[in-house]
Amino acid sequence: MIPEILSFGDKGFGDELLRGTQYTLVIAASAYLIGICLGLLGSAGKLYGGAFARGTAAVYTTIVRSVPEVVLILILYFAGTRGTNTLLGYFGLGPIEVNGTLAAIAVLGVVQGAYHTEVFRAAIQAVPAGQVEAGKAFGMRGLQIFRRIIGPAMLPNAIPGLSNLWLIVIKDTALVAVVGNYELLSTTASAAAFTKRYMLFFLTTALIYLLITLISNYFISKLESRYRRGQTKLA
Amino acid sequence: MNWTWFPEYLPLLFQGVWLTIQLLVLSMVFGLTLAVPVGLVQVTGPKWLARIARGYCTLMRGTPLLVQLWLLYFGLGSVFAAFPEVRQSIFWPILREGYFYAILAFTLNEGGYGGEIMRGAFLSVPKGELEAARAYGMSPWKVLHRVWLPRAVRNVLPTLASETVLMLKATPLAATVTVLDIFGVILRVRQNTYITYEPLITAAIIYMALTFLITRAFNYVEGLVPSRR
């Protein structure tokens, strides 16, 4: 059923595509986690920060969300490479070849962070002020309030946005192919160019991305119903 | 900072901006034209048609745009090139161009995303208004183009604005299929001069300016059609 060219082993590209899929998933998941961290920081800066933190967060989200991801990926990719090497130069270390996968993770993480910032900001703002005040009345401090009240209360609000961003980051990993890497689309492109079977390879890859998305959707709906339990259903 | 390349490439850059705008406007217009039926049949169409539209949206939203573009350009392109009939036809000058495949891919993609938006938009129009239109004796077609569609579009104008910005941010992918849009010109500058940052930052600034213009334009349109909530 499966054509030989997609089989595993020396004759087919099956194992190469599988490895590409692994890279894609690793890049997506790591970038997503970095994005969540940056997003929490950014939303905290936007909501509770001083003028400097608020300004920085605003510039960060505005720039990242209005410049195309491909352009950002190139800028951050080269800036990151040169920055790292300049930094190493100060310590008297020679230039290193920046690991493509790590660079991709860092770049996509920074891009994701801007979108996460907005998701968390909106979710936190939707938490009723009375609940936070109740926490204060109990004598909780800032971080305690965040951990015990704002965090759990905003999570159901944030989950639709967070799941959207997960689907977006999977598709954004494909953009890394522009700078060349080992992820799924780059692997596909070189396999297709090598064998001249463009249609076959790109269709297979589209199918793999679609499967990842569909499987993610399944778990997202599970997660959503779990975190929405106990809440009144919307009409 | 090295800006010596700038005067030489400025005319090309202007052409690039023009091409980007073309890509954006054409794919948005074609894409949204496709999105209206895709959204509509999911709301009122027969079940089998609704299911096809649903699957289409999932397909377009579940795979990266770059894969769709490369599938069409390299995949379909190589299939076309294999047939001498196609190569000798009058359409070949078009079917050879990355520009054509870029607009095709963006249009199909926008049809999927826009279809999902239009589905929600059609659902958001109050039933009473449609009933009132029918009570006036309007045919289904008249109800659609006089009441249902205008109201639906007005309701999702803000979403369409962000959709347009997303499409703008997708246009540089066309540069990967040899289109000389803004990003394509920038890549060429980089290739020819080995200068990396200044061109890329120029591109970032141009895209930010275009984003700003799009947002302003949509705000203006939203102001033209006041909505009472």
Domains annotated for chain B, with CATH where assigned, are 6-224 (1.10.3720.10)
pLDDT band at B228 (very low <50, low <70, confident <90, very high): low
pLDDT value, residue A15 = 83
Cβ contact, residue pair A71, B176, below 8 Å: no
Tens digits of residue pLDDT in B85-126? 777 777 777 778 889 999 999 999 999 999 999 999 999 999
For chain A, positions 185-204, list CB contacts with chain B under 8 A. Answer: 185, 188-189, 192, 196, 198-199, 202-203
pLDDT single digits (tens) A88-141: 888 877 677 667 788 889 889 999 999 999 999 999 998 888 998 999 999 998
Output the DSSP codes for chain A. ---GGGSSSSS-SHHHHHHHHHHHHHHHHHHHHHHHHHHHHHHHHHHH--HHHHHHHHHHHHHHHHS-HHHHHHHHHHHHHHHHHHHHHHTTPPP----HHHHHHHHHHHHHHHHHHHHHHHHHHTS-HHHHHHHHHTT--HHHHIIIIIHHHHHHHHHHHHHHHHHHHHHHGGGGGGT--SSHHHHHHHHHHHH--HHHHHHHHHHHHHHHHHHHHHHHHHHHHHHTTTSPPP-
> Percent of chain B at pLDDT above 70?
99
Q: Could you tell me the residue ranges of all domains in chain A?
A: 4-227
Paired tokens of A111: 């891009």
More confident residue, A181 or B5: B5
More confident residue, B224 or B122: B122
Region B115-143: mean pLDDT is: 93
| ipTM confidence score | 0.88
**Exposed, middle or buried by CB within 10 Å (0-12, 13-18, 19+), for B85?**
exposed
pTM, whole model, 2 decimals? Answer: 0.89
* Token reading at A166: 């997960």
pLDDT at A235: 43
> Does B169 contact A189 at a Cβ distance shorter than 8 Å?
no
B13-62 pLDDT per residue, tens:
999 999 999 999 999 999 999 999 999 999 998 999 999 999 999 999 99
Determine the straight-line distance between the first and last CA of chain A, rounded to whole angstroms.
Answer: 47
Is B207 in Cβ contact with A214 (below 8 Å)?
Answer: no
CB contact under 8 A, B200 and A205: no
Q: Which of A67, A74, A199 sits opposite B207 (nearest CB)?
A: A67
Return all residues near A2 (Cβ < 8 A) that are at least 6 apart: A14
Average pLDDT of the segment spanning A201-205: 92
| Exposure string over A153-173, b if 16+ CB within 10 A, otherwise e | bbebbbbebbbebbbbbbbbb
Architecture of domain A4-227 in this structure: Orthogonal Bundle (1.10)
Could you give the 3-state DSSP secondary structure of residue B90? Answer: coil
Would you place residue B142 in the very low, low, confident or very high pLDDT band (cuts 50, 70, 90)?
Answer: very high
| Model confidence pLDDT, tens digit, residues A49-63 | 889 999 999 999 999
Cα–Cα distance list, A112 to A60, A141, A154, A169, B56 (Å): 11, 29, 19, 7, 27
Spatial CA neighbour of A185 closest among A168, A196, A167, A198: A198
